[in-house]
Structure 1
C-alpha cells in the first residue's frame, strides 16, 4: 500500500495504536532481513543468564529467548518505529537482586514479581501521558546528558576488567573499527557513491563488522570454530514444559511481599530504561530530516504501553532477567542510517524496522543459527554495544548549542556512568538551573517539544 506524499505509512487505527501488517502495510527489505538473522544470534545471549542464575535447562532458556523475540514484533506491529531490545544496563542490578533469593522457584517468583511491577509502571506512565510529557519537557541538555551517560556506561562495561574486551581484544578491536568505518565514516560515504560493492556493504549496518570479528576471532584463536549438526533444523519449543518450569501458572504466583520488595528495583530499572525513549526519538527523527516524503509519529506514551505489555506478557509466560526494553539502539540506529538515504533504499521506517524484527523472531528457532551463535555471541554483543556507545555520545553532542551545554552533558554523563541514573538526573538538573540563563531555559521549555516538527499533508492514507 502506497502512502500519500508527506503522510504516515498506511495503518489500521486502534486507539493510540497503529496496526501495521507485513507485506500489506509495508514491504520486505533485504538488508534488514540479513541484520535480522544476525540479531537472532545475539538474542540468544540471555541463555547463559537463564541457565546460570535461574538454574534452568538449556532448552527452556532457549524457549524464553524465542518468546522474547516474538514480543519484539509488537512495537512495529502496534505503531512504534523502533527495534526494541533488552534493558541491558539493568542486567547487573537485576542479577544482584535475584541472588538474594534461593535458586529455584523462589528466585523465579521474585523475578516474576519484579517484571510485573516494571510492566505496570510502564503502562501507567504511558496511559496517564506522564511519559510523553516528561520526554517533551526535558531540556535538550538533560536529554544529551542521559544519552552521554548511556554511551559512557556502555563503553566502560566492555573495557572494564570483567568486560568482554579482556577475553577478545583483537576480534573486538577489529570489529568496532569496521563497524565505525562502515556506519559513520565520511570517507566511506564518499567511496560508496563510486563503488557498488561498498554501497551494498553499507546497507547492512553492523552485520559486516560482526562477521569480520568472527573471522578474526577464529584466526586469532580467541574463539573456536562453530560446529554444525544437521540432525535437527528447527527447534520446536515445548510450550507446556516452559509453563510448568517458569510460568506462575505452573509454579505459582508470587506473594504480595515479593511484589512490594520488587517495587524499588522496578523504579530503578524504569529510570534506566527512560533514557531509551529519548535515545529512540532522537535516533529515528534526527535521521529522518532528509525524508520529507514520510511523517513519523513517535509517541513516547505508546512506546511505554507496548513495553509494559511485553514485560507483563514475559512475566506470566517466562520471566526474563534482561527485561523488555523499548530500544535496541544499535539496530535502530543502523536502520535509521539507511532510511535517510531515500525512499528507493527503504520504503518506510516501518518496512526497515518491521523486516528486521520479524526475521529475527523466525530465525532464532533454527538450530544452525544457535550453533553459530555459541562462539559468536560475546563478540556480537560487544561490537553492538560499542556501536551503541558511539551513537549515544554522537547524538548527545548534536543536541547542544553552546560550550556550557556540552560541559553539562559531559559531567552529567560521567555521573550517570559512575553513580547511576538517579544521581545523574539530580546533578544534571542542578547544573541546568545553575548554568543555563533563565531566558534560555524558557526558550528551551517552549521549543523542546518542537525539535522535529514536519509539515504534513492534511490528507493521510489510512485503512
Structure 2
C-alpha cells in the first residue's frame, strides 16, 4: 500500500521537483508483487554486458560487476522523476559498439572510446531534448538510412557469433538451442497461439528471453560446453575502488580526435534510441486509453534530459558499452499489458514500472544468483545478440519499400557491419543523393506525365 492515494481520474500523487514529478516507493506508489518477482529474474539480462566489459574493454570482472550494479540504480532515475518507462540500455547499439571497439586495444584505450561515445551521446540527448530537434531530424531521416542502420546492426550482431573463432565455434550446441528457443518463444505464431490457451505458457512467455537462456545453460552445462558454477552465498560486494581506477579522472579523458571519431556512433545510438522512445510512447498511450482511473502525463523532453543525465553519470563514473537507453521495451510492454487488467491488478503504471526497476537493483545483490550466472555470461550475451540481430533486421527491412531504398539500405548495412558507423553514414548519404534522389525525381516526372496524359484524354 502507498501513503498517498490517487483519486479516480487523477494523476498518481507526486512531489514536484521543478517541472519533474518525483515518486517514491510506499509514499507515492505500492510495490507490485508480479513485477517484483519478474524483475528478480530479468535483472540477469544486464549481466551479459559484463562479457563485453571484461573481454572487449579489458576491465576486471569486479569492476564490470560494479558498473552493472551502478547502471541498475541509474536506471531508476527516469521512472522516479515521472517517466513511465522501464529504462534500459540501447540493445540494438551493442553490435555497432563492438565494431567500433574493434579499432581499439582492450584496456585504457577501449575504455576511453566507450567514455567518448557515452559523453557525446549525453550531449546529443541534452541538445535535442531542449530544442526538440530530435523529432525533426529522426522523422525526416530517409527510410533507407534508418533501414540501413538497423539492418547493419543486425548483420553485425549475427556476424559476431558465427565468424571463425566466435562464440558459436566454442559452444555450438548451447548457443544453437538457446537461439532457436529464444526466436521461437518471442516470434513464433504457433507459440503465440498455444500461449493463448495455456496460463503456464503465458507465464513462461512473460519472462521474455530468460527461459531460453536458462534452458541453454542446462544444455551447455550437461554436455560440458560450460563449467559448473562456483556458487557463493551472501550479498554482492561492489568494488567502487576498481571502478574509480578506470574512470576518466584516473586513466584520462579521451582526446579530441577520439571524441570526433565517436560522433557517428553516438548519432546512430540516438537514432536507434529515438525509435525506442516512439515505441514506448505508443505502448503507454495504449495503456492510458484502457484505463480511466489514472491520467498518465509525462514529457518526452524529460525523457531526453533524464537520459542525458544517466549517460553523463555513466560516462564520468561507470562507462557502460550498452549506453543508457530510454526504455527496456520488453519490460515496459510487460508492465503496460498487466496494467490494462485494471486497478486491482496494478494500482498505477508507476507502481509497476518502478517495482520492476527496484527488483533489478535488489536482485543483483543476491550473490548466489550472480555467481551462478558468471560462467554462462558469454552464452547469455550470444543469445542476446542473436535476438537483437533478428529484431534489427526485421524492423530495418520494414522501413524500406522501393528498389532504390533496398539498394541504399543494403549497401549501407554491409559497410556498417564491416567498417563501422562513420563509413556507413558517409556511404548511406552519398548513395541516397546519387541513387535514391534521382529515382524520386524520376517517379515525380512519371507521375506528372501520367497526370498530363489523363488531362489530354479528358
Question: Structures share a fold, TM > 0.5?
Answer: yes
Q: 1:95–1:321: 8 Å Cα contact kept in structure 2?
A: no
Answering whether residue 189 of structure 2 is matched by residue 193 of structure 1, we say: no
Q: Partners in 1 of 2:170 and 2:320 — Cα distance?
A: 24
1:10 to 1:436, Cα distance in 2 relative to 1, 3 A: farther
1:25 to 1:299, Cα distance in 2 relative to 1, 3 A: same
Partner of residue 99 from structure 1, selected from 105, 125, 129 = 105
Mark the structure with the bigger radius of gyration: 2
- The one-character-per-residue Cα deviations of 1:409-456 (angstroms, maximum 9, x if unpaired) are 55544443344341454156435423446999xxxxxxxxxxxxxxxx
Residue equivalent to 1:375: 375
Q: Partners in 2 of 1:29 and 1:179 — Cα distance?
A: 27
Answering whether residue 88 of structure 2 is matched by residue 84 of structure 1, we say: yes
- 3-state SS, counterpart of residue 226 of structure 1: coil
1:51 to 1:288, Cα distance in 2 relative to 1, 3 A: closer
- 3-state SS, counterpart of residue 245 of structure 2: helix
Q: Partners in 2 of 1:237 and 1:216 — Cα distance?
A: 31
Number of matched residues? 426
Q: 1:228–1:371: 8 Å Cα contact kept in structure 2?
A: yes
Q: Partners in 2 of 1:145 and 1:243 — Cα distance?
A: 36
Q: Partners in 1 of 2:222 and 2:50 — Cα distance?
A: 26
Partner of residue 135 from structure 1, selected from 124, 135, 138 = 138
Q: Partners in 2 of 1:49 and 1:191 — Cα distance?
A: 36
Q: Partners in 2 of 1:285 and 1:307 — Cα distance?
A: 15
TM-score if structure 1 supplies the norm length? 0.76
- 3-state SS, counterpart of residue 246 of structure 1: coil
Q: Partners in 1 of 2:211 and 2:48 — Cα distance?
A: 19
Answering whether residue 234 of structure 2 is matched by residue 237 of structure 1, we say: no
Answering whether residue 313 of structure 2 is matched by residue 310 of structure 1, we say: no
Residue equivalent to 2:321: 322
1:278 to 1:418, Cα distance in 2 relative to 1, 3 A: farther
Q: How does 1:165-314 map to 2 (within 5 A)?
A: 165-230=168-233, 233-239=234-240, 241-242=241-242, 245-248=245-248, 251=250, 254=253, 258-285=254-281, 291=287, 292-293=289-290, 301-314=301-314
Runs of 5+ unmatched residues, structure 2: 445-458
Q: Partners in 2 of 1:417 and 1:237 — Cα distance?
A: 35
Q: Partners in 1 of 2:400 and 2:114 — Cα distance?
A: 39
Residue equivalent to 1:151: 154
Displacement after TM superposition at 1:14 (Å) = 5.2
- 3-state SS, counterpart of residue 194 of structure 1: coil
Displacement after TM superposition at 1:114 (Å) = 5.8
Q: 2:161–2:167: 8 Å Cα contact kept in structure 1?
A: yes
The CA RMSD measured in Å over matched residues stands at 3.9
Displacement after TM superposition at 1:362 (Å) = 2.0
Q: 2:35–2:352: 8 Å Cα contact kept in structure 1?
A: yes
TM-score if structure 2 supplies the norm length? 0.76
Larger mean CA deviation between 182-191 and 282-291 belongs to 282-291
Q: Partners in 1 of 2:351 and 2:340 — Cα distance?
A: 11
- The one-character-per-residue Cα deviations of 1:339-386 (angstroms, maximum 9, x if unpaired) are 457611885765555443332222222221221121221222222222
1:375 to 1:52, Cα distance in 2 relative to 1, 3 A: closer
Q: Partners in 2 of 1:282 and 1:264 — Cα distance?
A: 28
